[in-house]
Every structure is written in C-alpha cells, then in structure tokens.
Amino acid sequence: MSNEAVVDEAGRPIAMVEGLPGVVSDWSSDQRAFKRVPWGKAMMWIFLLSDTFIFSIFLTSYMTVRMTTTVPWPNTSEVFALTVFGEHIPLILIAIMTFILISSSGTMAMAVKFGYEKKRKITTYLILATALFGASFVGMQVFEWSKLIFEEGVRPWGNPMGSAQFGAAFFMITGFHGFHVSVGVVLLLIVARKVWTGDLENMRPGFFTGRKGGYEIVEIVGLYWHFVDLVWVFIFAFFYLW
C-alpha cells in the first residue's frame, strides 16, 4: 500500500478506516469514492447499470426462446422488408432507423462539447437535432408496429407466420426500447429549453436546474442517450440480423 496521506480539499489529513468498514465509509460519506463527481452523473451510471441488466435479461430470454421453440421462427429479413418502387428490400426500414439513431449519438456528443464551452445557441440546436432524430426513430417504430399488427396479424400471444413467441419477444423488446427513446426525447426537449433560456447559468429554479454554470446536466442526459443507442445496436444484431 502507498504511504501517501489522504487529505481533504483544505489539506487536512483524513483518517483512513481499514478493510470493509473503510469501503462502506468511503462510499456512504462521499469523501473519496465520488470526489468531484456530480451526484447526478453517478446516479445516472447506477441507473444505466441496472437498465443493462434488464435489457440483458430480455435479450437472453429471446435467444433462449428462439433456440428452444419447435415451431419455425419467421424470417426477419422477409417480415421486416418493404416494397419501394416495386423492389422488395429486406430490412430497409430497420437500416434507416439504425442510421438515424447512431447519427443522433454524434449530435449529442457535440452538444456536450459545446455545452461545456457555454455556447448556448449551438448547444441548443444540437440537442434539438438529437431530439428530432429520436422522434423520427419512434415514428418509424410506430409504422413498423402498425404494419405487423394490421397487415401481418402479429400479436403478443400469436403469430400467423410461425412461432407464437415471435410476437411476444418483438413487442416486449422493441416496446421497452421505444419507451426509453420517447423518455429521452422528452428529457432532451426540457434540457434544450434550459440551455436556450440560460437557466443553467442563472440557476433559475425548476427541473434539472443545478448550480450556476452546471452544464453537466447536458452530459448526464447524453449518457442516457448514448446508452439507448448502444442497446439498439444489440437489438438490431440479435433480433433483426439473426
């Protein structure tokens, strides 16, 4: 172990507690474990970790059902194909949705950068662009659901194209992810308004308004948005390409 003394911000030595009680003391008192880390960011990471477990369970359940069902699983390339100008194109809508969501990660990353530089105008535009990408994704997902329900007759409890579990897996996984995207769009619109009106700099009371100059809320919402995008990559790979 290092003999270097641990000090607080005033330079005073901090008494070290050995063993497991020391770990509990550190994390519960926020003396060293989360030093200089905004609580909002720490709590977002904890939330995303718990959400990772949920999506992992969903995808694991889907893979288990698909590998064990005795009824043929529908060909996703055909199920999610669209006819464009007379051409039958597999997964074209899903490819566009994936491109849109990945692009939104780029605009969100730039919004965080310009937010910390306190460039309110460009930050607001980038956040709104990200929200527009997210809303477009949800709109395409609504179209996808409508096509499967009204044209193909797919239901959570049945599927005329093959295995009955297909509908349950599809609506559960994509619905839960679509809900996350919808919540993210709402959060982005709220933060965009906060940035545009200067609430983050003037510390006006309200939702997500922290200390003066607290642009870390843009990064916190960005963490959530990047997580939603990353989860979709796994859904795209496991559900649509498999």
pLDDT at 216: 86
> Residue 28: is its pLDDT beyond 90?
no
> Which of 165, 184, 173 is closest to 231 using CA atoms?
173
CA distances from 138 to 60, 111, 131, 224 (A): 24, 21, 11, 16
- Write out pLDDT tens, residues 145-191: 999 999 999 999 988 999 989 999 999 999 999 999 999 999 999 99
Mean pLDDT of 73-79: 91
Per CATH, domain 38-240 is 3.30.70.270: no
The region of weakest confidence among 34-48, 56-70, 199-213 is 199-213
Which segments of the chain belong to CATH 1.20.120.80?
Answer: 38-240
Mean pLDDT of 19-38: 65
Pinpoint the alpha helices (H) of 4-147: 19-29, 39-68, 76-79, 92-116, 120-146
- Write out pLDDT tens, residues 110-142: 999 999 898 999 999 999 999 999 999 999 999
d(CA 118, CA 210): 15
Residue with tokens 């309110």, as numbered in its chain: 120
> Residue 196: is its pLDDT beyond 70?
yes
pLDDT at 14: 59
pLDDT at 99: 97
pLDDT at 237: 94
For the whole model, what pTM was predicted? 0.84
Q: First-to-last CA distance in the chain?
A: 49
